[in-house]
Amino acid sequence: MADNTTTADVETLVGQAWSHHYHGDNENAVKEFQHLVEKWPEHIDANYGLSLSLKAAGQKQQAGEAFRKTRALVETARTTQGDENARYTMLSRMIDQHLSSL
């Protein structure tokens, strides 16, 4: 983790960004997810949240780029983290569905 930030701290920040997205505040969700992705570029949930928030904000080109990056991260995780493989398989399928709707 960057700085002295713990995994729990990062997950709290990700949860706050997701809350903005869930409540339709995609402008702030995008800002928070972008900040998270800048600090932790391989954080799958932050990248996925950024992708969804960009799509919801109507920023289709940026959303497509973010979804493709997230898919690459998910594919890497699928090959290295066997115990969560089902989660990553599902996430990969959802990303493909979002990409096809852009």
Q: What is the set of domains in the chain, with CATH numbers?
A: 7-100 (1.25.40.10)
| C-alpha span between 5 and 49 (Å, rounded) | 20
Segment (H or E) for 31: helix 26-39
Distance CA 4, CA 99 (A): 35
Q: What is the pLDDT, as a whole number, of residue 1?
A: 47
Q: How many CB atoms lie within 10 A of CB 33?
A: 29
Angle at 36 between CA 6 and CA 83, to 5 degrees: 65
CA atoms of 14 and 47, how far apart (whole Å): 10
> What pTM, to 2 d.p., does this model score?
0.90
pLDDT in tens, 45-102: 999 999 999 999 999 999 999 999 999 999 999 888 866 688 899 999 999 999 999 9
pLDDT of residue 83: 64
Give the 3-state secondary structure of residue 27.
helix
